[in-house]
Amino acid sequence: MQEDRRLAVLRAIVEDYVATEEPVGSKALVERHGLNVSPATIRNDMAALEEEGYLAQPHTSAGRVPTDKGYRLFVDRLTTVKPMSAPERRAIAQFLDGAVDLDDVVHRSVRVLAQLTRQVAVVQYPTLSRSTVRHIELVALTPCRLLVVLILSTGRVEQRLVELDADLDEDELAALRSRVNLAATGQQIALAATALQDLVEGEQPAPPATVAVVETLVEAMSDHRSDERVAVGGTANLARYGDSFDTAVRPLLEALEEQVVLLRLLGEATSGGAVTVRIGTEGPFEQLSSTSVVATGYGPDDALASLGIVGPTRMDYPSTMAAVRAVARYVSRILDEGNQ
């Protein structure tokens, strides 16, 4: 019995604290929520919760504040997922539908996420590793300079310039083009790369042009630089931190500058529609001990890439999680459609 009430108290404290940004005391708690007990009772519960590490007191004789552990319990057990409202869903869908290409999808996702959650939004570009090769195009700019264009199923296009030692006439070019396409088109990118390697090795001695082109393609395919790209938006929402500039905003701004750091923050894409919540010190960075990350995967199997938001540990987890999930879902759908 009291156990149930204690959880209710924890939930109430989290909700109040998120709403008011101020430590919450026993009296305010009974008034605001329909707890039919006296403040003194609540005080006992709060003392117990503090004992167990779910709450903390900024100072003696101040109200209580949830700890990371408290938020964790809240997120794990006390959250009732509130689905997005119909108009919200429609707004998301409409806005994302307006996208004209992959870049645009990513940018729009960032915007819509930032707007919905009023936090800093982060969207990772679809990773190369999961996508398949849609087409390879070879364009002779001059007789001995070749533009190699790699078109992926996600809509991403990589291009590279290749300098050839010897000229290549139209027929040779066409032959080479059809050979690499035959080997790679439709394949997952890793498989395509090995298939292309085989192409060269199966034929000794391979013509230098073939070698050069294949080399470039393989390099483009395994170029993890592109894997590391992320889009960031909603930094203006940091203004709401206001207080705690040095402890919260500055390190976050620094983190946002570094793509690599951001990717580690987003973490591994979680599959199965689950939304990952990393609270405060659970994350990989010391300096970000008062920020949380709410993220999830998107794309087929939710494994294509990750998106999410970064915000203060003191955030409205239920609606943030709902927003992140909803956006991920719509993005997945749109990418899927564009793929037909």
Partner DNA sequence: GATTGGCACTCGTTCGTTCGGAGTGCCAGT
Partner DNA sequence: ACTGGCACTCCGAACGAACGAGTGCCAATC
Using DSSP's 3-state secondary structure scheme, residue 104 falls into helix
- The residues in 98-137 that bind a copy of itself, with binding defined as CB under 8 A, are 100-101, 134-135, 137
Instruction: Identify which of 163, 168, 136, 164 has the alpha carbon closest to the alpha carbon of residue 150.
Output: 136
Binding site for DNA (CB under 7 A): 1-2, 5, 23-28, 36-41, 43-44, 46-47, 50, 57-64
Q: Is 249 in the site for a copy of itself (CB under 8 A)?
A: yes
Q: Which does 86 bind (CB under 5 to 8 A by kind): a copy of itself, DNA, none?
A: none
Q: Which does 135 bind (CB under 5 to 8 A by kind): a copy of itself, DNA, none?
A: a copy of itself
At 129, give phi and psi (nearest 5°): -55, -30
Specify which residues 175 forms β-bridges with. none
Binding mask 173-212 for a copy of itself (x = CB under 8 A): ----------------------------------------
Q: Which does 236 bind (CB under 5 to 8 A by kind): a copy of itself, DNA, none?
A: a copy of itself
78 vs 249, which CB is nearer to a copy of itself? 249
Binding mask 229-248 for a copy of itself (x = CB under 8 A): ----xxxx-xx--x--xx--
Binding mask 153-172 for a copy of itself (x = CB under 8 A): ----x-x-------------
Residue 205 preceded by cis peptide, ω within 30 = yes
26 vs 117, which CB is nearer to a copy of itself? 117
CA separation (Å) from 32 to 13, 19, 24, 26? 10, 12, 11, 10
- Angle, alpha carbons 312-314-315 (nearest 5°): 80
CA dist., res. 152 & res. 139, Å (int): 17
Q: Which does 46 bind (CB under 5 to 8 A by kind): a copy of itself, DNA, none?
A: DNA
Q: Which does 88 bind (CB under 5 to 8 A by kind): DNA, a copy of itself, none?
A: none
Q: Is 27 in the site for a copy of itself (CB under 8 A)?
A: no
Instruction: Kindly tell me which residue out of 254, 268, 301, 336 binds a copy of itself, with binding defined by CB under 8 A.
Output: 254
CA dist., res. 320 & res. 326, Å (int): 10
Which residue type, as a one-letter code, is found at position 247? T
For 201-257, give the DSSP string.
Answer: HTSSSPPHHHHHHHHHHHHHHT-HHHHT-EEEE-GGGGGGT-S-IIIIIHHHHHHHH
Tell me which residue has tokens 């087929």: 300
CB of 244 to DNA, least distance (A): 13
Tell me which residue has tokens 């300096």: 287
Number of residues in contact with a copy of itself under rule CB under 8 A:
28
Q: Which does 57 bind (CB under 5 to 8 A by kind): DNA, a copy of itself, none?
A: DNA
* Residue 239 contacts residue 249 (beta carbons within 8 Å): no
- Give residues in contact with a copy of itself (CB under 8 A): 100-101, 134-135, 137, 139, 141, 147, 149, 151, 157, 159, 225, 233-236, 238-239, 242, 245-246, 249-250, 253-254, 256-257
